[in-house]
Structures are given as structure tokens and as C-alpha cells.
């Protein structure tokens, strides 16, 4: 059943885009913190974080990740969710080590998927190791589902290892990736029907599927993820100017759907994320 509010996640950067081609992309810590503040103001409750190095290239450097977690906690109330997907070239050990930065949450992709011309690798043993580490370190996972087979693997993971830290299962349907499930209403309904009982879910449509997936998710009672990681075109021929305008549009549509944007505190309560905002030096 649909809740009374819509949890909005912003994914501002990703690992695939070049700063030189997309100047509005936040790549420095300063740009990321500014973006996070604007997006919280616009209605976001969670930030899904990929970081870049001094050359604006994707990195999983643990010092930078830890500094990023602290800076975002200091400057905002957002739930800080680090990506464990990284870039398609990142080795498993470094992706596992992301949790040592002690974020509130992390992404956990439930299977391998073709990803454009690349392959995003998430074999079963890696998924298991990552999931057990989230339970040990007290990091709330969000299950990223790019394909229907990923839903089956999520069931398998929960059957084998039990409930996630926080006690609540929350999934994100990542739709419209070339190689994954289609970004349309029929596919969304089918995927949602297969989710574990009691799970909540958000959806994001990549590229031109962003708006149809957002409307379908609202109609079906889901939450939303938006951001430049997933789309850099606001409307036909008009590049995205900032992550905040994507969050603003999502919040406006959530209002129209009569499920306004959820606060970060309410999202924490729903997901079982401990309040660590005052504990920035953890
Ligand atoms: N960059 C993609 C290969 C995640 O953050 O967990 C994987 C990704 C998923 O973005
Ligand atoms: Zn990501």
C-alpha cells in the first residue's frame, strides 16, 4: 500500500559522465556539498554518492569517501548512501571497502547486468560478502534491481542471510539501462509485484525513461530517485541545469500525487537508519 509521503533520493554524479562534457556535474567535495544542500531544500531525503578524484575521475579512495560522509553529515540532514557499484572497472575488494567509510546506507546491486557496451559485475559470492558486511557494520543497504532476475536474487539473499540492518527492505528499480529491464509502466508493475512482502521501493528511469518511470512510480505508490547520474536531459533538447531542478520537479509531481516529499527524519524512521547526524566524527 502507498505511504502518505514520497521519499526522494538524489543521485547527483554517478561514475560514467565526464565533467568536461557535463559542466553542471558536481565532482568536487565543495560542489557535492552545495548540491546536497540545494537538493535537501528541494525535497530530497537521501543522497546516493559517487565521488571523483582531483582529475574528476571516479574513485573509491577510502579517505576521500570518509571525508565526504563527514562533510555531507555536517552540512545536511540527508541520509548518506555510498555507492558500492562504483564504476564498471572497480575491483570487488575496493567496492567492499566502501563500507569502511561508515556511511548511513549503501547500494547493493542484486546481480550482473549488461550496461551499455560494458558489464556491471555483481556475482552471487560478491553480493553475499557485501550483504554480510552491511549487517556486521550496521549500514542500511538499498537493493538495486536492474533486471527481473535481480528480484529473484534478492529473495535468495534474504532467505539465506535474513533481514538487513535496520530491519526493513527497501529496493530501487533502476530501469531503462541498455541491457537491463525496460523503463516503462508495464515492466515497473511486473517488477513491483515480485518484490518481497513489506518491501518499499523507489524507481528511476535512465535517460529518456526518467519522466515515464517517475509518473508510473508515483501512480503505483512508489518512491523516487532522480539525478544527473541517471539523466542529463531535462526535456527534449534542454540539458539539466542542476540536480536541484530534478528534485524540484520530482517534489512537484509528488505533491500532485498527494504524497508530498518525505523529510530525511521520516525516511530514517522508515528505513531503520540510526540518527548519526550529530555524530559527524564517528
Ligand atoms: N556506475 C554503475 C556501474 C551503484 O551505484 O550501486 C553502477 C552504479 C550502481 O551506479
Ligand atoms: Zn550509482
Q: Is 204's C-beta closer than 6 angstroms to any atom of ligand 1?
A: no
Predicted local distance difference test score (pLDDT) of residue 276 = 81
The number of the ligand nearest the C-alpha atom of 13 reads 2
Ligand 1 atom at minimum distance from 108 CA:
6
Q: What is the pLDDT along the chain (282 residues), one digit of tens a residue?
A: 568 999 999 999 999 999 999 999 999 999 999 999 999 999 999 999 999 999 999 999 999 999 999 999 999 999 999 999 999 999 999 999 999 999 999 999 999 999 999 999 999 999 999 999 999 999 999 999 999 999 999 999 999 999 999 999 999 999 999 999 999 999 999 999 999 999 999 999 999 999 999 999 999 999 999 999 999 999 999 999 999 999 999 999 999 999 999 999 999 999 999 998 655 444
Going from the Cα of 256 to the center of ligand 1, the distance in angstroms, rounded, reads: 30
Alpha-carbon distance 52 to 59, whole Å?
5
Task: Give the global pTM.
Answer: 0.97
C-beta neighbour count of 6 within 10 angstroms: 26
Predicted local distance difference test score (pLDDT) of residue 279 = 55
DSSP strand pairing (46-49 vs 79-82): parallel
The number of the ligand nearest the C-alpha atom of 110 reads 1
Helix and strand numbers (H, E) in the chain are: 9, 14
Q: Is 231's C-beta closer than 6 angstroms to any atom of ligand 1?
A: no
**Residue 73, CA atoms < 13 Å, CB-side half-sphere:** 23
Predicted local distance difference test score (pLDDT) of residue 280 = 47
- How far from chain centre, in Å, is Cα 64? 19
Alpha-carbon distance 206 to 87, whole Å?
16
| Residues whose CB is less than 8 angstroms from the CB of residue 55 and which lie 6 or more positions away in sequence, other chains included | none
Ligand 1 atom at minimum distance from 11 CA:
5
Amino acid at each position: 500500500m502507498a505511504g502518505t509521503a514520497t521519499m526522494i533520493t538524489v543521485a547527483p554524479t554517478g561514475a560514467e559522465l565526464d565533467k568536461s562534457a557535463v559542466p553542471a556535474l558536481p565532482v568536487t567535495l565543495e560542489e557535492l556539498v552545495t548540491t546536497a544542500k540545494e537538493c535537501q531544500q528541494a525535497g530530497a531525503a537521501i543522497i546516493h554518492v559517487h565521488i571523483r578524484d582531483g582529475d574528476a575521475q571516479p574513485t573509491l579512495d577510502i579517505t576521500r569517501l570518509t571525508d565526504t560522509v563527514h562533510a555531507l553529515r555536517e552540512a545536511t540532514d540527508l541520509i548518506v548512501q555510498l555507492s558500492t557499484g562504483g564504476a564498471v572497472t572497480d575491483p570487488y575488494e575496493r567496492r567492499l571497502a566502501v563500507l569502511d567509510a561508515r556511511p548511513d546506507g549503501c547500494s547493493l546491486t542484486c546481480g550482473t547486468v549488461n550496461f551499455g557496451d560494458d558489464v556491471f559485475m555483481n556475482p552471487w559470492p560478491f553480493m553475499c560478502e557485501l550483504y554480510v558486511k552491511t549487517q556486521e557494520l550496521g549500514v542500511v543497504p538499498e537493493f538495486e534491481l536492474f533486471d527481473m532476475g535481480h528480484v529473484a536474487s534478492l529473495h535468495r539473499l534474504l532467505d539465506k542471510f535474513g533481514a538487513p540492518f535496520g530491519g526493513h527492505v527497501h529496493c530501487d528499480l533502476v530501469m531503462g539501462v541498455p541491457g537491463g529491464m525496460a523503463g516503462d509502466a508495464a515492466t515497473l508493475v511486473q517488477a513491483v509485484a515480485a518484490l518481497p512482502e513489506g518491501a518499499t521501493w523507489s524507481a528511476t528511469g535512465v535517460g529518456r525513461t526518467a519522466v515515464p518511470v517517475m509518473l508510473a512510480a508515483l501512480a503505483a505508490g512508489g518512491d523516487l530517485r532522480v539525478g544527473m547520474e541517471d539523466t542529463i536531459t531535462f526535456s527534449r533538447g534542454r540539458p539539466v541545469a542542476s540536480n536541484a531542478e530534478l528534485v524540484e520537479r520530482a517534489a512537484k509531481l509528488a505533491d500532485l500525487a498527494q504524497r508530498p516529499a518525505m523529510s530525511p527524519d521520516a525516511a530514517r524512521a522508515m528505513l531503520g537508519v540510526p540518527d548519526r547526524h550529530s555524530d559527524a566524527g564517528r
